[in-house]
Copies of this chain bind each other. A is one copy, B any other.
Amino acid sequence: MLKHIAAGSARTRVDLARVMGLARSTVSQRIDALLAAELIVERGTAASSGGRPALLLRLNTQAGLILSADLGATHAWLALSDLGGQPLAEIDNDITIDQEPRQVLDGVDQRFSELLAKAGCDAQQVRVIAVGVPAPVELPVGKVVSPPLMPQWDDYSVPEYFEERYPAAQIVVDNDVNLMARGEHQEHYRDVKHLLFVKFGTGIGCGIIIDGEPHSGAQGCAGDIGHIRLPNSDTPCRCGKSGCLEAVAGGGALAKELHYLNAATARDVAQLAAKGELRARRAISLAAQRIGEVLAAIISFANPEVIILGGSLARFNETLLADIRSGIYNRALPLATRSLRIETSKLDERAGTIGAISLAQQRIFSPTGVAKLLDAQHSPGK
């Protein structure tokens, strides 16, 4: 219903009932809840062919604010936007995700305060906070589970941290790559039903869109391709196993390999490659081929239409797509690759933020989100 109102494809109660084939009474009930939650407003009237003119419904983008934090292993992107998704302020800065979660989140919260101050807004106006982390997430509760890159976060509840500070906000947490897939799909590939977003950064992960919807699996760890075992490798991995794709081809592994060039992070490796350092380029190139080989198996299984490559190492190497493709085409069946498109991220560093805002909107405009909003408005604490 909100989609129709937002898109303008139905803006009166009568139109909604017709377009959605719903009973008038059903439409009215839901509209009343949305009006009470102040998520929509009545503004102006529709041209009428007689009788009482119908009131026009609009999304109330001013009804509150969205804060989003897209946390990578070594870098964070933070944004403040209105409920319509319009950005009000953004910052990014270096972080070290492998610290105590409270320490990392205190840093995030400080940036959130800066964003609010910058836009002249108040924490009380925040209705949703969306956080992306480079780890598997138990989606319904927003808990981080068995995260190889950030072991101190195991079983940590991100929502609990923010609930204390933002009592009027609902908190949603997801894996960073899932958010990137969502963002890219939403912004540039809406008509694509089956899409994979492969992040080639410190770690390696994959966000999955199936039938137009994000897929995160039974435990929320679908797409965790960084720990697929490569043949003929026993490089130890942070996860405790050995021979994982990430341990061989992840940006963290490449930084270790190139430490004699003063590379400490995946971003350093990317910058060396951008400056024309051949050893960095060669390392990225070989890593890309290994990723391509693993993707060949994934493609046979999932038969996607589009694969998007993102992450800090997907940027500065003009042969990257060719390297990944060579890994894929050597191994995957022609039928699955016949019309497969392999492209680099159009949103680049903003993919996670766009995805986080989209997840936040989905939450607040869902029946659960609306119900919680109404509860919060009526609770005496507010």
Chain B residues in 8 Å Cβ range of A227 = 300, 333
Question: Are A335 and B232 interface neighbours, CB within 8 A?
Answer: no
Q: Does A141 reach chain B (CB closer than 8 Å)? A: no
Asked if A294 is at the interface of the complex by the 8 Å CB criterion, the answer is yes
Residues facing B in A200-235 (CB within 8 A) are 206, 208, 210-211, 213, 215-225, 227-232
In the complex, A193 has a CB within 8 A of chain B: yes
A211 / chain B contacts, CB cutoff of 8 Å: 210-211, 213, 215
A298 at the interface (CB under 8 A from B): yes
| Contact between B217 and A302, CB atoms less than 8 A apart | yes
Q: Is A39 an interface residue (CB 8 A)?
A: no
Q: Are B228 and A231 in contact (CB under 8 A)?
A: no
Give the distance in Å from the alpha carbon of A303 to the alpha carbon of B207 in the complex. 12
Residues of B near A219 (CB, < 8 A) are 303, 335-336, 338-339
User: Which stretch in A17-25, A112-120, A266-274, A275-283 binds the other chain?
Assistant: A17-25
Q: Given A215-B210, A232-B231, are A303 and B222 also a contact pair (CB < 8 Å)?
A: yes
Q: Which A294-309 residues have a C-beta within 8 angstroms of B?
A: 294, 296-298, 300-305
Most buried by B among A215, A223, A230, A336: A336
List, in ascending order, chain B residues with CB within 8 A of A22's CB: 21-23
In the assembly, what is the distance between CA of A224 and CA of B304, in Å? Answer: 12
Chain B residues closer than 8 Å to A193, beta-carbon distance: 218
How close is A143's CB to chain B, nearest CB, in angstroms?
12
- Max chain B C-beta neighbours (<10 A), residue from A146, A216, A303, A340: A303
A194 at the interface (CB under 8 A from B): yes
Asked whether any CB of chain B lies closer than 8 Å to the CB of A136, the reply is: yes
Q: Which residues of chain B come closer than 8 Å to A21, judged between CB atoms?
A: 22-23, 26
- CB-nearest residue of chain B to A341: B218
Please report the C-alpha to C-alpha distance between residue A232 and residue B233 in the assembled complex, in whole angstroms.
12
Interchain Cβ contacts under 8 Å between A and B, 16 examples = A23-B24, A136-B335, A193-B218, A206-B301, A215-B302, A216-B303, A217-B304, A218-B303, A218-B340, A219-B338, A219-B339, A224-B300, A229-B297, A230-B231, A241-B331, A298-B301
A23-B24, A194-B218 given. 15 additional CB < 8 A pairs?
A21-B23, A22-B22, A22-B23, A146-B334, A210-B210, A210-B211, A210-B215, A211-B215, A219-B303, A219-B339, A221-B335, A228-B301, A239-B333, A297-B297, A301-B301
